[in-house]
Amino acid sequence: MIDGGKRNVLGVQINVIDYEAAAAQVLAAARGGQPLALTALAVHGVMTGVTDREFAAKLNAFDIATPDGQPVRWALNLLYKCGLTDRVYGPDLTMRVLERCASEGLAVYLYGSSQNTLDRLTVALSKKLPDLRIAGREPSKFRLAEPGEPVDIARRINESGANLVLVGLGCPRQETFVYAMRSLVSVPLLAVGAAFDYHAGTLTRPPRWMQSYGLEWLWRLALEPRRLWRRYIVLNPAYLARLGAQLTGLVRPVPPTPAREPLSLFPV
C-alpha cells in the first residue's frame, strides 16, 4: 500500500497513492459515515487547474486527487522519484470500491450522466455485482443549480441510506459538484469521470497496451473527435511543455491555497 501524501504537479496537488490505499480511505469514510472528496485526475483535469486558478484551488481542497492518467503518474515519478508503478484510474478504482461495497453491504448512490446510461449501468452492475446495493440514482440536469436545489439533492442522498456517492459529470463539472456538495453530504463523494460510460458499455475501453503507454487519449480522440480535439491536441503538448519547465526548474508553480468558500452556482 502506497500513500505518500500530495505533490505539486503544475500547481495542482496530486496524491502519491495506489489503488489499495485510495480504496481503503474511501471505504473507511463510507463505513464511518464521514465526508470525503476524491477525484481521479488525468491531464485534462490538471491543465484545467493550470488555466483556472480558482478551479485549481478547488482541486487542492480535495482529500484525494489520484493520478488517473499515465502522464500524471509519470510526472510524479519524474519530479519526485515516487516509484509509482501504476496509475489510479477512475473506472478501475470505481470497480474496486464497488466490489468491496457489495461484499460489506455498503450502499452506493449514482449521480450524473444521462438516464439511459444510468439504466444501462444499473443493469451491468447488477449482473457483475448482484449483492451491490444501489440506494438511488439521479441523472445530470446539464445546467446550473437553481436556488435551494443543492440542499434538495443532498437531502435525497442523505435520506437514501447511501454510504458513498459516485459522480459522473465529466471534468471539470464533476469536481466542482463534489467540491460544492461535500459540506452538505455526510458520505464520501467520488468524481469518477468516464467510469459510468465504461461500465455501462456506452463507451468502449481502449486496449490495455494503449492504457499502459499513455495512449488512451488517442483512442478517445478517435471515438469523439469533435468533442475532444481541443482537450488532446492543444492541452497535451501544453502539459508536456509545462512539465518540462517544472522538471528543469525554469518554472516553479505555486499551488493555490485550497478553496474554502461555499458555492451557490455550480453544475448539476
Q: What is the pLDDT of residues 75-90, one digit of tens each?
A: 999 999 999 999 999 9
Residue 200 CB neighbours (<10 A): 21
Read off the pTM.
0.92
Asked whether residue 268 is assigned to any structural domain, the reply reads: no
Structural contact between residues 120 and 113, judged by C-beta atoms closer than 8 angstroms: no
- How confident is the prediction for the chain on average, in pLDDT? 93
Pairing of strands 133-138, 3-9: unpaired
Lowest mean pLDDT among 60-64, 224-228, 246-250: 224-228
Structure letter (DSSP) for residue 144:
B
Q: 218 pLDDT band (50/70/90 cuts)?
A: low
Structural contact between residues 1 and 21, judged by C-beta atoms closer than 8 angstroms: yes
Asked whether residue 74 is assigned to any structural domain, the reply reads: yes
Asked whether residue 222 is assigned to any structural domain, the reply reads: no
Q: What is the pLDDT of residues 39-72, one digit of tens each?
A: 999 999 999 999 999 999 999 999 999 999 999 9
- Residue 85's contacts (CB-CB under 8 Å, 6 or more residues apart) are none
Separation between Cα atoms, residue 126 and residue 61, nearest integer Å: 34
What average pLDDT score do residues 159-168 get? 97
Q: What DSSP string runs through 86-123?
A: S---HHHHHHHHHHHHHHHT-EEEEEES-HHHHHHHHH
Rg of the chain over CA atoms, in angstroms?
Answer: 18
Asked whether residue 218 is assigned to any structural domain, the reply reads: no
CA angle 231, 15, 167 (to 5 degrees): 60
| Cell 504537479 sits on residue | 9
Residue 130 CB neighbours (<10 A): 8
State how many domains the chain has. Answer: 1
Separation between Cα atoms, residue 113 and residue 128, nearest integer Å: 20
Pairing of strands 36-41, 64-67: parallel
- Residue 64's contacts (CB-CB under 8 Å, 6 or more residues apart) are 15, 17, 22, 25, 26, 36, 37, 38, 39
Asked whether residue 252 is assigned to any structural domain, the reply reads: no
Asked whether residue 225 is assigned to any structural domain, the reply reads: no
Cis peptide before 172 (omega within 30 of 0): yes
Domain extent for 154? 3-210
Structural contact between residues 12 and 41, judged by C-beta atoms closer than 8 angstroms: yes
Q: 212 pLDDT band (50/70/90 cuts)?
A: confident
Asked whether residue 32 is assigned to any structural domain, the reply reads: yes
Question: 76: domain CATH number?
Answer: 3.40.50
Asked whether residue 251 is assigned to any structural domain, the reply reads: no
CA angle 158, 191, 163 (to 5 degrees): 30
Which residues partner with 110 through β-bridges?
A: 137, 166
